[in-house]
Amino acid sequence: MDCEPKPSSSNETLTEPELENSIESLKINEQLKELLKEKGFKISEILKSKPSNLKSDLGITAKDALLIINAAKDAEPTSSEKFSVASRNALDMIYDAPNASILTFSKALDDLLDGGISTNCLTEIVGESGCAKTQFCLQIAAAATIPQEMGGLNASTIYIDTHNGVFIDRVKSITLGVVEKCHKSARENQLDISKELESYTLEMALSKILIQKPISLQQLMISIGRLEEFIKLHSQVRVIIIDSITFPIKYVVHDSEERLKILLSIHATLRELSQDYNLAVLWTNQMTTGPNRDSVAALGDSWAHACTQRLTFSKLNDDFQANIWKSSSNQGNSIVFKEEGIRDAEET
């Protein structure tokens, strides 16, 4: 984004000096204006700031930092048409429900997760190959697109597929199941069909699942490094999924110290994005053989505490089992579910 103001033919457009000093014109509360003026901030500087930096410099919350940045975008003549409506919608969507959740469509799993996959949360999905990890991630990406009036986020997902395991037919099938379930629920509950719900089609939902396929560790790091820039330009993004985080690292970087350095860099970026933009961040991890020949999550003990919560998937006869561990409560629990679209095992 070009952050520098440009001349306009409009008589009402602020010149560059006026723009830079027009903190008073920002649509924020007086306390925040005084803080900005006290610290000597100009609008052009705000537009170049990250929410985390603004939060630290002013001693304010992440919510207020993003509020200031979006107010500055609205005040910038060269980008007002591009950002003003989107920014206000983003603030409404993000902060009306600070800890919004995305349903998994398994009641038992949603109960286990206190309502579903939460925003402002780092979730790790661990399991052997063939244990529905990708299926689960695709379900979350599809569920994030559900309209707000149906209890969804009406959100977009950045899905980073590092092992080329996501196929379009699979994405379509899972997303179609979510769309049809929403319309069926609306009919059964005799809800008025609004324009938002009427326009909620397979094509609309698929347009909100943005898939990237980095084929190397270098490409993965570039993708992660560009996430914030992308999110600033696409305010509906509320979910980031990396499937899998193991594949491009464990089998390429053999030096444990170098691997840890890379992982800590990835974790710092994802944690900051999750907090600054109130995102749900998920990644998948493989199982490997531990020192005692038992199965343990890959990437080592240091990585084990990187997530807010960990779901461990395993096969259980014809169904699947999910065990949950939450770092906040240090408690474990488990449920059984089916792979098809992620449903409770007792559903027919």
Run of H or E residues at 344: strand 343-344
Q: Which residue has the tokens 């800590």?
A: 264
Q: Which domain-ending residue is among 95, 122, 141?
A: 95
**72 & 191 share domain:** no
Peptide bond into 199 cis (omega under 30): no
Q: What is the CATH number of the domain that holds 150?
A: 3.40.50.300
Rounded CA separation 221/259 (Å): 13
Tell me whether residue 90 is in a domain: yes
In this prediction, residue 123 carries a pLDDT of 94
Query: Which of 95, 112, 133 marks a domain boundary?
Result: 95
* 34 domain-assigned: yes
CA distance 151 to 197: 12
Q: What angle do CA 152, 153, 155 make, to 5 degrees?
A: 130
User: What pLDDT does 93 receive?
Assistant: 44
Distance separating alpha carbons of residues 82 and 180, to the nearest angstrom: 33
What's the pLDDT score for residue 335?
65
| pLDDT in the model for residue 42 | 86
* Contact criterion met (CB below 8 Å) for 281 and 274: yes
Reference 275, options 148, 116, 98; nearest CA is 98
Does any domain span residue 291? yes
Q: What is the pLDDT of residue 246?
A: 87
Q: 60 lies in which domain range?
A: 16-95
Q: How far apart are CA 22 and CA 77, in angstroms?
A: 12
The 10s digit of each residue's pLDDT in 315-339 is 877 777 888 876 554 455 666 655 5
Closest CA relative to residue 266, chosen from 289, 292, 240, 294: 240
Whether the full predicted model's pTM is greater than 0.85, yes or no, is: no
pLDDT for the residue numbered 247: 85
Examine the domain organization and report whether 29 and 160 are in the same domain. Answer: no
The total number of structural domains in the chain stands at 2
* Residue-level pLDDT at 344: 58
Bridge partners, 336 (sequence order):
321
The reply to whether 118 falls in a domain is yes
Q: Which residue type, as a one-letter code, is found at position 253? A: V
Enumerate the β-bridge partners of residue 160. Answer: 212, 242
**Intervals of the chain under pLDDT 70:** 1-21, 62-63, 76-99, 191-193, 289-294, 301-302, 326-348
- Residue 277, C-beta contacts closer than 8 angstroms, at least 6 positions apart: 51, 66, 94, 228, 231, 237, 238
Residues 88 and 113 in one domain: no
How many residues belong to the chain? 348
Same domain, 143 and 86: no
* C-alpha–C-alpha distance, residues 296 and 304, integer Å: 10
Strand partners, 315: 320
Q: Which of 95, 116, 145 is the last residue of a domain?
A: 95
| pLDDT in the model for residue 92 | 46
Which amino acid does the sequence have at 304? Answer: A
Give domain status of residue 249, yes or no. yes
CA distance 128 to 165: 14
